[in-house]
């Protein structure tokens, strides 16, 4: 009896020694040499793994920076601090990028925008959009079924009163929501910008009014009362030119549809 136990210990111990020794040899001769800087750059990145830089996660981006000299200003969540840290470490010059944020260009929530019918299908914006063109009377506005909120890696989007809202402080500008929105309502804008035209309807005024009380009717008052060039018309829709700083905040009062909003 004792003999079997002792024998087993001996054999297992011997096996362990042999395998351990071969692993030690393999670790020495088959080792893959990796640039140690990759690990260190990876440490500097925020580990959000959002993919917003265009690489499959932070480790891949770190590798690209070290090996392929990729641009170091691509990390949206890390922002300027992260970029400066990488610049110092890699000894390259940093070109600052403006911090951007996603914004939903629609303010037609369920209180002001009508719905044409009761949609009772899949809880997904693309599916709702494909059902008779969407239940919202406005064919441009946010449907509010939350496809963008579900893809957001940092939970920056929530649905309020039937439309999506982006929390600027959380948004990392990874553009995932932009890709998923079937109505192409979500755009990247400078995070510092405070005044926006929250409407995407290119319909003529009367058609807009029929569907939603806060839709842009194309009256052009903002182009008259706002700063020179800050508001531009795209057909019957006013848009903000974010390259021009807005000083005259009275446009918010002047807009008859109340779709110019400060946040």
Partner 1 sequence: MQTIKSPYNFRGGIHPAYNKKLSNGSAIESLPLPAVLSVPMSQHLGAPAKPCVKVGDEVKKGTLIGAQNGFISAPIHSPASGKVKVITDVATASGRPCQAIVIECDESNETEFLPPIENWQKSDKDDLLTRIGETGIVGMGGAGFPTKVKLSPPMDKPIDTVIINGAECEPYLTSDHRMMVEHAKEIRIGAEIIRSILGAKTLRIAIEDNKPDAIKAIEDAFQDIEGDVAIAVLHTVYPQGSEKQQIYAVTGREVPSGGLPMDVGCVVENTSTTFAIYEAVIKGLPLMQRVITVTGDAVQKPANLLAPFGTSYQDLIDACGGFTEDKPAKVISGGPMMGFAVSSLETPTGKTSSGLLLLSKKRVSQYSSQACIACGRCVEACPMNLIPSELSQFIEAEDIEGAEEIALMNCIECGSCAFVCPAHRPLVQHMRRGKAAVMAKRMAANAKG
Stretch that binds partner 1, among 66-74, 86-94, 129-137, 192-200 (CB under 8 A): 129-137
Pick 95 or 131: Cβ nearer partner 1: 131
Letters for 93-122 (x = contact with partner 1 by CB under 8 A, - = none) are: -----------------------xxx-xxx
| 204, two tokens | 């003529």
Q: How far is the CB of 147 from partner 1 (least distance, A)?
A: 10
Burial class (CB in 10 A: 0-12, 13-18, 19+), 234: exposed
Q: How far is the CB of 130 from partner 1 (least distance, A)?
A: 6
Asked if 40 interacts with partner 1 (CB under 8 A), we say no
**What letter would DSSP give residue 244?**
S
Asked if 178 interacts with partner 1 (CB under 8 A), we say no
Pick 13 or 133: Cβ nearer partner 1: 133
The C-alpha atoms of residue 118 and residue 116 are separated, in whole angstroms, by 7
Stretch that binds partner 1, among 47-55, 124-132, 158-166, 249-257 (CB under 8 A): 124-132
Residues 137-166 that bind partner 1 (CB under 8 A): 139
Contact 102, 92 (CB under 8 A): no
Q: Find the angle CA(58)-CA(59)-CA(61) to the nearest 5 degrees.
A: 65
| 97, two tokens | 């990028």
Q: Which residue in the set 56, 132, 179, 192 belongs to the binding site for partner 1 (CB under 8 A)?
A: 132
Q: How many residues bind partner 1 (CB under 8 A)?
A: 14
Asked if 124 interacts with partner 1 (CB under 8 A), we say yes
Ramachandran assignment for 218, one of left (phi > 0), alpha (psi -120 to 50 degrees), beta (any other): left
Query: For the chain, what is the radius of gyration of the CA atoms?
Result: 27
Contact 147, 163 (CB under 8 A): no
* Residues at the contact surface with partner 1, assessed by CB under 8 A: 116-118, 120-122, 124, 126-127, 130-133, 139
């Amino acid at each position: 009896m004792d003999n079997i136990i002792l024998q087993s210990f001996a054999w297992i111990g011997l096996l362990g020694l042999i395998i351990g020794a071969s692993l030690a040899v393999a670790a020495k001769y088959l080792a893959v040499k990796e640039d140690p800087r990759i690990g260190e750059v990876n440490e500097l990145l925020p580990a959000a793994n959002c993919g917003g830089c265009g690489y499959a996660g932070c480790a891949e981006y770190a590798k690209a920076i070290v090996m392929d000299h990729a641009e170091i200003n691509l990390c949206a969540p890390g922002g300027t601090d992260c970029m400066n840290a990488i610049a110092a470490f890699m000894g390259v010059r940093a070109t600052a990028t403006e911090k951007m944020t996603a914004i939903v260009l629609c303010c037609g929530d369920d209180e002001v925008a009508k719905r044409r019918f009761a949609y009772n299908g899949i809880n997904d914006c693309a599916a709702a959009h494909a059902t008779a063109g969407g239940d919202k009377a406005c064919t441009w506005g946010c449907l509010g079924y939350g496809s963008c909120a579900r893809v957001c890696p940092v939970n920056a989007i929530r649905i309020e009163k039937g439309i999506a809202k982006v929390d600027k402080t959380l948004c990392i500008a990874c553009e995932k929501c932009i890709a998923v929105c079937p109505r192409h309502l979500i755009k990247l804008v400078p995070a510092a910008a405070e005044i926006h035209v929250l409407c995407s309807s290119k319909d003529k005024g009367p058609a807009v009014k029929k569907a939603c009380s806060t839709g842009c009717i194309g009256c052009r008052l903002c182009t008259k009362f706002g700063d020179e060039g800050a508001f531009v018309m795209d057909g019957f829709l006013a848009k903000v030119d974010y390259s021009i700083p807005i000083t005259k905040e009275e446009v918010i009062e002047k807009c008859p549809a109340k779709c110019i909003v400060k946040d």
